[in-house]
Amino acid sequence: MRCVAAFCALAGLGWLSGMGYVLGQETDQAAGSPPTETTKPQETRLTPETIQTKIAQLEQDKSLDPEVQKKAIELWKEALASANLSAQQDQRIQRSIQQREEAPKLIETIRAQLAEPATEPTLTIAGDAPVSEFDQGLAKAQSQLAEIRKTAEDLERRLKDRADRRAVIDKSAAQASSDLEKLNAQAETEAEVEEHTEIVRARRIAIVARRTLLSKQLQSSQEDLAGFDLMTNLYTVQRDQAVRQLSQAQKLLKLWQEATEKRRRQEAELAEQKAQESIQQAAQLHPAIQRIAEENQKLTKQRTGPNGLMQKTAALSERIQNETTLLDQLKTDFARVRERATTGGEHATTGLLLLNKRSTLPNLRPLKKEMEERKAKIADAHFQWIEYQEQRSKLADPEQAVNGIMSEIGGEIDGEKRDLLEKEVRSLLQKQAGYLDALLREYESLLATLSSLDNLERQLVYITQQFGQFIDERILWIKSTPVLDMTALGRAIEAGQWILNPGNWKTAAKIFWSGVLYRPVQAWLMVVVWALLIWYRKKLRKQIPETVIRTGDGSFLLQTGHSLWQVGLLAISRPYLLWMLHRILADAPGNHPFPDAAAAGLLEAAKAYLILELVRGLLLPGALGTSGLGWSNEVRLFVRRHLRWLTFAILLARFVQTAIEMQSNNLWKESLGRIAFIAGTLSLAVFLVIVLAPNGMLMRPYAGMGSRGLISRFRYLWYPGAILLPGSLAVIAGMGYFYTAEQLYWRVINTILLCVSAAVAWQILSDWLTAARRTMADREYRLQQQEQAQAVINQQVRSKSKLLSVAVPFETIYRVSQQSERIIRAFFVLGIVLSIWGIWRDVLPALGAMDRVVLWETTAKASETVDAAGKTVTQLRTAPVTLSNLVAAMVVTIMTLVTARNLPGLVQIAVLQRVGVDRGIQFAITTLSRYAIVVAGVVIGCGQLGINWSKVQWLVAAMTVGLGFGLQEIFANFVSGLIILFERPMRVGDIVTSGDITGKVWRIQIRSTTIQTWDNKELVVPNKEFVTGRLMNWTLSNPELRISFPIGVAYGSDIAKVEKLLHEVAQKHPDVMKDPAPTVVFMNFGASSLDFDLRLSIPTIDVMLKVRHEINRAIDQAFRNANIEIPFPQQDLHVRTIGAGLPVEIRKTN
Question: Tens of pLDDT along 7-21?
Answer: 333 333 343 334 333
pLDDT at 24: 37
Higher pLDDT, 934 or 163: 934
Is the model's pLDDT at 70 over the cut of 80?
yes
pLDDT over 70 percentage in the chain: 75
Residue 30 above 70 pLDDT?
no
Structure confidence at residue 1046 (pLDDT): 92
Helices 968-983/949-966 angle, 10° precision: 110
Highest mean pLDDT among 254-258, 1112-1116, 1144-1148: 1112-1116
Angle at 1143 between CA 1139 and CA 1145, to 5 degrees: 165
- Give domain 1041-1121's CATH number out of 1.10.3210.10, 3.40.50.720, 3.30.70.100, 3.30.1490.190: 3.30.70.100
Main-chain dihedrals φ then ψ at residue 1082, nearest 5 degrees: -85, 105
Res 677: pLDDT: 93
Mean pLDDT of 230-250: 87
What confidence score (pLDDT) does residue 646 get?
A: 92
What is the pLDDT, as a whole number, of residue 603?
93
Q: DSSP state, 1141?
A: P
Nearest Cα to 498, choosing from 736, 651, 662, 648?
A: 662
**What pLDDT does 579 receive?**
93
Q: What is the pLDDT of residue 899?
A: 77
pLDDT band at 849 (very low <50, low <70, confident <90, very high): low
Mean pLDDT to the nearest integer, 750-767 = 79
Q: Which pLDDT does position 1081 carry in this prediction? A: 93
233-247, 261-275, 428-442, 853-867: least confidently modelled range = 853-867
Q: Which of 1-5, 123-127, 651-655 has the lowest mean pLDDT?
A: 1-5
- Of residues 360 and 965, which shows the higher confidence score? 360
What's the CA gap between 406 and 411, in Å, rounded?
9
Distance CA(258)–CA(921), nearest Å, equals 77
Q: Is the pLDDT of residue 827 over 50?
A: yes
What is the location of CATH 3.30.70.100 in the chain?
1041-1121
**Which residues share a beta bridge with 873?**
865
Q: Give me the sheet containing 1079-1085, strands edge to edge.
A: 1041-1049, 1090-1098, 1079-1085
747 pLDDT higher than 70: yes
pTM: 0.58
Where does the pLDDT of residue 1 fall: very low under 50, low under 70, confident under 90, or very high at 90 and above?
Answer: very low
- pLDDT for the residue 971: 66
From 374-388, 635-649, 809-823, 896-910, the region with the lowest mean pLDDT = 809-823
Mean pLDDT of the 405-433 span: 74
pLDDT at position 1114 is 92
User: In this predicted structure, which of 71-85, 94-108, 1124-1138 has the lowest mean pLDDT?
Assistant: 1124-1138
3-class SS of residue 992: strand
CB 473 within 8 A of CB 846: yes
More confident residue, 285 or 476: 476
Cα 262 to Cα 257: distance, rounded to the nearest angstrom: 8
Output the average pLDDT for the chain. Answer: 77
In sequence order, the β-bridge partners of residue 881 are 856
The more confidently predicted of residues 793 and 329 is 329
Q: Give dist(CA 413, CA 453) in Å, integer.
A: 54
**Distance of alpha carbon 190 from alpha carbon 210, whole angstroms:** 15
Higher pLDDT, 57 or 538: 57
- Predicted local distance difference test score (pLDDT) of residue 194: 66
At residue 546, does pLDDT exceed 60?
no
Identify the pLDDT of residue 119: 83
Greater pLDDT, 1092 or 54: 1092
* Of residues 808 and 899, more confidently modeled: 899
Q: What is the CA radius of gyration of the chain?
A: 49
Most confident of 370-379, 713-722, 852-861: 370-379
pLDDT in the model for residue 33: 35
Give the C-alpha separation, 953 to 964, whole Å: 16
d(C-alpha 364, C-alpha 1035), whole Å = 65
- What's residue 153's pLDDT? 82
Q: Residues near 196 by Cβ (< 8 Å), separated by ≥ 6? A: 65, 68, 72
pLDDT band at 36; cut points 50, 70, 90: very low
Please give the torsion angle defined by the CA atoms of residues 309, 311, 313 and 314, in that order, rounded to the nearest 10 degrees. Answer: 160
Lowest mean pLDDT among 64-78, 469-483, 711-725, 781-795: 781-795
Q: SS3 of 1009, please?
A: strand
User: Does the pLDDT value for residue 807 go beyond 50?
Assistant: no
Secondary structure class of 742 (helix, strand, coil): helix
Lowest mean pLDDT across 713-717, 748-752, 757-761, 1041-1045: 713-717
